[in-house]
């Protein structure tokens, strides 16, 4: 099955492709798709806005995702504003600096956080499938690791104590990440529909 991905983020596209292709999906980059303003109040709403717009523009099944970091001590922030937490969209360094500053010297046991990913797939016939994945962890005091993107250098997943998400191999990350969990749930629903 062909599926277009409603993202212009190359690192996110690589991650989505890496997980979907082995499941039998021919992944098409959504470079030509229009940007969609993320006006939803939840990750799921934003994912569905992107998928619906991409499906309408391309005439193909389209998957859109929205994901972000939710920190308990910050009342769930940055949440749906994760990519633009520090003001400029996609400035990972500024976002991480603001996050670490907001947490200050809070002890490790008060730095619980989770990555959340919602994925929506819209089809030209009007069907819509949604899935969500979560990765529990905590926020480190400093950055570590050169892999991943976004908040990965300061997110310590519970599944790999002492390692940041940016220190995991792609296979390790896919196995525990919020996006991997959401895509596996989506794939199960897609296969059930076939």
Q: 32 near 90, Cβ under 8 Å?
A: no
Catalytic residue among 66, 92, 152, 174: 66
SS3 168: coil
**Distance between CA atoms of 72 and 93, rounded to whole angstroms?**
21
Would residue 66 show up in a list of annotated catalytic residues for this protein?
yes
Closest CA to 128 of 30, 37, 62: 62
Q: 62 near 51, Cβ under 8 Å?
A: yes
Cis status, amide bond into 78, omega within 30 of 0: yes
Q: Per this entry, what is the length of the chain? A: 194
**Distance between CA atoms of 76 and 129, rounded to whole angstroms?**
25
Active site residues: 66
């Amino acid at each position: 099955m062909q599926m277009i991905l409603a993202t212009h983020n190359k690192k996110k596209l690589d991650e989505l492709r890496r997980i979907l292709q082995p499941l039998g999906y021919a992944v098409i980059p959504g470079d030509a798709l229009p940007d969609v303003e993320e006006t939803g109040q939840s990750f799921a709403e934003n994912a569905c806005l992107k998928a619906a717009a991409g499906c309408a523009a391309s005439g193909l099944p389209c998957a859109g995702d929205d994901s972000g970091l939710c920190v308990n001590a910050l009342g769930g922030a940055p949440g749906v504003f994760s990519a633009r937490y520090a003001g400029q969209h996609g400035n990972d360094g500024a976002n991480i600096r603001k996050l670490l500053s907001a947490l200050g010297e809070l002890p490790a046991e008060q730095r619980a956080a989770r990555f959340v990913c919602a994925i929506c797939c819209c089809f030209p016939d009007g069907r819509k499938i949604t899935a969500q994945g979560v990765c529990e962890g905590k926020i480190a005091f400093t950055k570590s690791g050169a892999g991943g993107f976004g908040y990965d250098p300061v997110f310590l997943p519970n599944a790999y104590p002492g390692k940041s998400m940016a220190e995991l191999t792609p296979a390790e990350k896919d196995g525990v990440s919020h996006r991997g969990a959401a895509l596996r749930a989506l794939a199960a629903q897609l296969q059930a529909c076939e």
